[in-house]
Structure formats: C-alpha cells, structure tokens
A and B are shown apart, each in its own frame.
Chain A
Amino acid sequence: DTEVTQTPKHLVMGMTNKKSLKCEQHMGHRAMYWYKQKAKKPPELMFVYSYEKLSINESVPSRFSPECPNSSLLNLHLHALQPEDSALYLCASSQGAGPNQPQHFGDGTRLSIL
C-alpha cells in the first residue's frame, strides 16, 4: 500500500463525459504531481503543484484541468477526452519541490475512453 491514495482505481468514460480523478496524501508533502503513462512507456509529467500553486504545466491540453484545494488534495478534472487519452494516470508527491526530493507515487487510475 502506498501513502498516496488515488481514486478511482479504474474509470471508463465516454468522450462527452465529465469526470474527476482524486489524489490524497497525508505525509505533509508540499509538492504534488500528475503524470500520464502509456503502456511500456515511462511516466510523462503533466502538472506540478508546489505549495498549492500550479508551477508547471507541460503544455497539457485544456481538456485536462488540475486543481489543488489544499496541501493534501490534488484533483484532475476531465472533460471531452479523446480515445488517445486512455492511459494510467499517476499522482505523486514529494516533501518539497527541490532537486533532492524523491517523488512517491500513488497506485494510479487506469482510464479508458470509449
């Protein structure tokens, strides 16, 4: 079991649906991340929040909308996704947003777009 909890574990949605992915950590970490991982590929960074402020957006399409309501929670709102968005979505957290801060990953949400 990881200390970063992601819900739901699996999500199937149509291209017109709106859904949200949730990530929670109670380690007191101040940096949180969203990654997308396709099969047999490494994780690709999407967003970074540092001290609840968005600090990095890796040119992610606007159909993905992150939100950080507080230091323990990170959401990813999904709208009008495409079939190629089907992937494993990983949340990670680190104590701070510095170079020597290991990131700890949640179990991920496996997303399928019909």
Chain B
Amino acid sequence: QKEVEQNSGPLSVPEGAIASLNCTYSDRGSQSFFWYRQYSGKSPELIMSIYSNGDKEDGRFTAQLNKASQYVSLLIRDSQPSDSATYLCAVTTSGTYKYIFGTGTRLKVLA
C-alpha cells in the first residue's frame, strides 16, 4: 500500500512566523510532489510543485525535497491569517500519474 502521511494538526503559528509543514511518503520510486492549499468548503489550489532534491522557492513559499529520506516539506515565511487552511501533499507514484494525497495538515495562523 503506497502511502503519503501528514500530521493532521492543527498547526498553530503566530502571524509573521515561519510555518513548517511536513509530508512523508512510502514509495521510493515517487517522482513528483505537489503542495495544495484548500480553504474550508473550497477546492484545492496548487501552490508548489517539486521534482528534484533540494529547495524550490516561490515568494513566501519554499518546498524542500529529500528523496533519500522520503520526505517533502513546505515552509511558509511571514505567515498571515489568510494562510489558515488545510495543506495537502500529493505524490505521483512510480509508473503512474495518479496522485496519492496525504490527509492534509490544518494550519492556523494567529493574529
């Protein structure tokens, strides 16, 4: 069973702090990794994609991938109350293009 695991939270951080969200996956052959943000009652919105080891930055967001340790993380700098949402990690497994979603981490940014 190929799995993607996330801490369900809630992860509470004060406004202006760095929020760190983590995701581990079981399939060592996984190739592609995506972070989505989902507000309550809304659809998932793509934030970042990462395909190779290392860091990838986009504005306040940084995705980090470590294939040897089988984890991918998302850092949100200068967190804002509007960042409060559920963050879903999605991984495409080896040999397919199907997403395997983690259960999501609920982030609360406190004003």
Complex contact A102–B34 (CB within 8 A): yes
CB within 8 A of B92: which of A42, A48, A90, A99? Answer: A99
Number of A-B residue pairs having CB atoms within 8 Å of each other in the complex: 54
Whether B34 contacts A2 by the Cβ 8 Å rule is no
B: contact size bracket? 20 to 34
Interface residues in A, total, Cβ within 8 A: 23
Kindly identify, within residues 66 to 111 of chain A, every residue whose CB is under 8 Å from any CB belonging to chain B. Answer: 88, 90, 94, 97-108
CB distance A105 to B51 under 8 Å? Answer: no
Contact A41 B103 (CB under 8 A): yes
Provide a sorted-by-A list of 18 A–B residue pairs whose CB atoms are within 8 angstroms: A2-B45, A31-B97, A42-B102, A42-B104, A43-B44, A43-B99, A48-B97, A88-B43, A90-B43, A90-B44, A99-B31, A99-B92, A100-B31, A100-B92, A103-B34, A106-B43, A107-B42, A108-B43
Q: Kindly state whether residue A56 has any CB partner on chain B within 8 Å.
A: yes
- For residue B98, CB closer than 8 A to chain A, the reply is yes
Closest to B49 in A: A102
A98 CB contact (under 8 Å) in B42, B46, B97, B103: B97
Docked pose: A88 CA to B40 CA in angstroms: 12
B32 to A105, Cβ gap below 8 A? no
Residues of B within 8 A of A2 (CB): 43, 45
- Picked from A56, A99, A100, A105, the residue with its CB within 8 Å of the CB of B45 is A105
